[in-house]
Amino acid sequence: MNKKLFKKYTREELAEKIGGYFKLCALINKRKKELATGMPPFVDIESEDFDEIIAEEIMQDKIRLKEVDYDPKEAYEMDKMDLIR
- State pLDDT tens for residues 8-33: 899 999 999 999 999 999 999 999 99
Radius of gyration of the chain (CA): 17
pLDDT of residue 3: 56
pLDDT of residue 38: 96
Task: Report which residue type is found at 7.
Answer: K
pLDDT of residue 69: 73
Range of the domain at 37: 4-84
Concatenated DSSP letters of 3-34: -EETTTEEHHHHHHHHTSHHHHHHHHHHHHHH
pLDDT of residue 12: 94
pLDDT of residue 85: 41
Domain total of the chain: 1
Domain of 15, CATH number, reads: 3.90.940
Query: Are 4 and 18 a contacting pair, CB within 8 Å?
Result: no
pLDDT of residue 36: 97
